Structure 1
Amino acid sequence: MKTYGGFLITQIQRLQGRVFEKMLKDSGIEAFNGAQGRILYVLWEHDKLSITDVGRLTSLAKTTLTSMLDRMEESGLVRRVPDKKNRRQIFISITEKAKEYREMYDQVSEQMNELFYQGFSETEIEDFENKLRRIINNLEK
């Protein structure tokens, strides 16, 4: 049986990224892009995380993550905080400036979800997301 799951997921990811970027700009959010928004989202949820945890939660490669964090730090969205107990450990913390974008970002995310699941029933959404989680679990093994 020929399957297209990986190809379709990649296509969805690219389309979703472009649409989400446009939605952010249309909403007046220009301080960060969609990928940086993923970093901010996990920090809004956790306030302070190690770089390793940010990478794990966003699925961003460490090299990509490091350069993004550099740009986000320069623009005042995040700051690096050394661990007082282990000087080699660095945490990423969200700034007050970044916290101000949370509500607008959540509104854009909600609009994206509405577009993403347009025409789906709640049961279909739940079933779809459960199948995606199974794929993730398969890949993480």
Structure 2
Amino acid sequence: MREFYDGITFRTNVVAKKASLGLQHALERFEVTPEQWSVLNVVDQKAPISQRHVADFAEKDAPTVNRIIDVLVRKNLMTKMVDEKDRRITLLSLSIEGKQKVQLIRNVVEETCAHFYQGISDVELATYLDILARIENNLE
């Protein structure tokens, strides 16, 4: 049984690394890392959103998200504004340039993922996602 588990763990790590590298290569032309993309994607879907909530949705720690946000603001892809209801909260949104770039990136990410999942049915992917969720739950 140990060899079976070792094989699953090894193959999972190999696939995760290859997928991450494939996504990184797809994003290079946009000068955006996969980590930056995860933050841009959350902000695109949830804006205006606080930095704390971005960290929660992106499943990253707050200092990492803060560094990523600073980079994205410097790249003029994201804007910050103070929440009118609670001045202690900074809300994030995409800039006009950020919205345009996110749409281009989203198209490339979808093409890249379609390549990753080629030949695998939606039912198989749903089963895979369910299994991953159960494994993740066991890890927590």
TM range (shorter): 0.7 to 0.9
Q: TM-score, normalised by structure 1?
A: 0.84
Q: Is the 8 A contact 2:44 2:93 kept in 1?
A: no
- Cα distance in 2 for residues equivalent to 1:23 and 1:14: 14
1:66 counterpart residue number: 66
64-73 or 101-110: which moved more?
101-110
1:97 counterpart residue number: 97
Identity of aligned residues (%): 24
Aligned Cα RMSD in Å? 1.9
Q: TM-score, normalised by structure 2?
A: 0.84
- Unpaired runs of 5+ residues, structure 1, are none
Partner of 1:81: helix, strand, or coil?
strand
- Cα distance in 1 for residues equivalent to 2:127 and 2:63: 34
**Cα offset for 1:128?**
0.4
Aligned residues: 137
Partner of 1:87: helix, strand, or coil?
coil
- 1:24 and 2:24 matched: no
Amino acid at match of 1:29: F
Q: Is the 8 A contact 2:48 2:93 kept in 1?
A: yes
- Cα distance in 1 for residues equivalent to 2:63 and 2:79: 17
**Cα offset for 1:8?**
4.1
Amino acid at match of 2:30: I
